[in-house]
Structure 1
């Protein structure tokens, strides 16, 4: 059983008033601050790229700089509708820094040394602080009256792209295999351009680094500790119970097939049909609502079906358990299912792509489930599809949802 915590989204909000994600960060990060050395050490533990060489990190670095340029292009093209420009630039700069740090680590280069040499001349090139333990991004990012404007950012990002392009070209030509110092020189130039781009966008690199780590540990936590449930403080008759068993089965009436769902021998919800020309068995999709409730502690749909709406708090009842929240959840389930159809129902895979998780995160912004980490969504999706595939194969059976231990399982059987 995974450990529980007493934290709750009701008392953890960001400046916009929306709940922050429940993310456990390494203890080295104190009050949201960390040195460049600490950042490289922590980022090293989050390297999940399959190849231990340099190629993927260099390509990743090149791709993130491309994303910065793409965001700037969108601003010019869609200025009236691209309202998340600042947040996007902040995130992409954090991602760029992660790939840069990972490249340095894989090349056995010290990031604080690179960072300091980026702002030194020949006369003091080797005069770096011993062990670099206290050097922070703020120490290297003095604005010095540098302009903060779209034009200056465009120039600096193009410079950064040129540096990374040169690095990629020399890597492909095999230069670094013959001269490691050549790679170090490229890294120094690239870091200098990265800091200049951050300055021109008025982005605090320390904040961008922290944001990147929060996103990374939201997806790949050091330990999977579930936050306290959203209904933990509610009366017993308004909380999900410790566990429930559901019977889900395909039935036939004449030439029409439909799915029924029972809980405690009582049919809940409507009979579900395909409602689509192509046969895709979506009528078994209620297992996704069960998986959401198990791993996220969230399912307005299931609360409505089981009469567990939190009516003791009128605001929560209306805004978190009401009709609009139900529509949001159904929309998420439909979106996830559509992606699953493209990926063979996620069979024989152990994770989902980040773009899917990010899209879901955007979709549920403003609702309590935004508090949940990306790894919780991934577990819900993977377990939901696992149960779905078994139901499609057997056409009927029992689904045990253990809300206390955060597990969901399938057992073949008939209700007859």
Structure 2
């Protein structure tokens, strides 16, 4: 979602304009993306799902994120121009660092705007602060140079930030922070000052980093599940996914060879599928992932081709979104997801997908309409796809019911002669 446009005014992908993910942000964030430091802390508090409510995980998380900043700089130095995503990575890591910092402050019952003000006050003005100041934003605390900063400057500032967080970690291990709130507050002031300095040296707007962090968080864990309108909602009836379809998928044997067929309305669609691999892993049932993509993302060039639902009325969509390259992209995503699932017991008993997998998928599909979908949509598609896959593998045949209108997918045992 564009920071300047509310999700209520744009609830479907428009190929004529560049948009980010469809993410519904908290109403406290202004249409231009500005939010106060206090607002950010309040929002971050609502997204704290860490299991332990003490300080340990937030201290360790803060330490880890600063380490990620150092790692990004190391990659930039090592790979130089080959590391094209350097600026975006620094922005994301600074946002993640800010989230852990804010969450630590909240758990320690410290006001983030007070910490921010004290970071730039002299000793004589130390107590001249406005707690929860609604007018104080991140930009007011930065002196961005507006021109390229020498790389060694950023490394110096990040190392200083790492040193401050390291001191915090050492005192936390020693137990001194839990006995002295002022001592923890002093650490937080020093860390915030170093964080702003690191952002300045990287020419990064902390307010923008905070906004991007909120977008990422609500893309993964929305306050409420709201599906955007489907990509094909304005297409003719014969070029859009119907409200509901039922597929029969079954394994058959010919001699020593096993393969899977798929039928829709008693008609075989697609080719007979095998694992296409020396080591058998039941990948021949993988078409359920394409169904899950269509149900939760409204996207599946593969399924459109199989069902003859390509959007021919729009030549640009037909070529660029439903064409051969898009089909290859989707098959690649399905293969990638399946490979990850093999290493995670096919996600059995797991109710969430790791962020690195979701981020890799979004990088893979960049430039295609599905790039507009939020992280939670991908997570639902992956988990539901594997749920159906596990049931099919167990029964070797059955019906898969895809409800595109209500965004559900289910499995029912049965044979092809049931009807």
TM-score by length of 2: 0.95
Q: Please, which of 11, 14, 19 is the counterpart of residue 10 of structure 1? A: 14
**What's the counterpart of residue 80 of structure 1?**
81
> Comparing both chains, which one has the higher relative contact order based on Cα–Cα distances under 8 Å and sequence gaps of 6 or more?
1
Matched, 1:36 2:37: yes
How far the C-alpha of 1:147 sits from its partner, in A, is 7.7
Q: Is the 8 A contact 2:347 2:386 kept in 1?
A: yes
Pairing 1:225-240 to 2, within 5 Å after superposition = 225-240=226-241
Q: Is the 8 A contact 1:402 1:408 kept in 2?
A: yes
CA distance, structure 2, for counterparts of residue 360 and residue 131 of structure 1: 39
Pairing 1:255-266 to 2, within 5 Å after superposition = 255-266=256-267
CA distance, structure 2, for counterparts of residue 347 and residue 88 of structure 1: 32
CA distance, structure 2, for counterparts of residue 149 and residue 221 of structure 1: 39
Change (3 A) 1:6 1:247: farther
CA distance, structure 1, for counterparts of residue 350 and residue 211 of structure 2: 30
SS in 1 for 2:14: helix
How far the C-alpha of 1:210 sits from its partner, in A, is 0.2
How far the C-alpha of 1:177 sits from its partner, in A, is 1.8
Deviates more, 1:62-71 or 1:214-223: 62-71
Matched, 1:373 2:377: no
Q: Is the 8 A contact 1:44 1:105 kept in 2?
A: yes
**What's the counterpart of residue 322 of structure 1?**
323
CA distance, structure 2, for counterparts of residue 346 and residue 26 of structure 1: 31
How many pairs are equivalent?
A: 409
Pairing 1:390-405 to 2, within 5 Å after superposition = 390-405=391-406
CA distance, structure 2, for counterparts of residue 392 and residue 411 of structure 1: 13
**What's the counterpart of residue 116 of structure 2?**
115
**What's the counterpart of residue 278 of structure 2?**
277
Pairing 1:33-112 to 2, within 5 Å after superposition = 33-112=34-113
SS in 2 for 1:132: coil
Matched, 1:289 2:293: no
Deviations 1:203-234 (Å, cap 9, x if unpaired)? 11100000000000000000110011000111
Deviations 1:120-177 (Å, cap 9, x if unpaired)? 1110000012541211111111337998221111100000000001101111111112
Deviations 1:329-356 (Å, cap 9, x if unpaired)? 0000000000000000000111010000
Q: Is the 8 A contact 1:245 1:401 kept in 2?
A: yes
Q: Is the 8 A contact 1:397 1:411 kept in 2?
A: yes
CA distance, structure 2, for counterparts of residue 242 and residue 144 of structure 1: 54
Runs of 4+ in 1 over 4 A off after TM superposition: 144-147
How far the C-alpha of 1:195 sits from its partner, in A, is 0.2
CA distance, structure 2, for counterparts of residue 232 and residue 52 of structure 1: 44
Gaps of 5+ in 1: none
CA distance, structure 2, for counterparts of residue 120 and residue 143 of structure 1: 19
CA distance, structure 2, for counterparts of residue 303 and residue 404 of structure 1: 16
RMSD: 1.5
TM-score by length of 1: 0.96
CA distance, structure 2, for counterparts of residue 5 and residue 37 of structure 1: 27
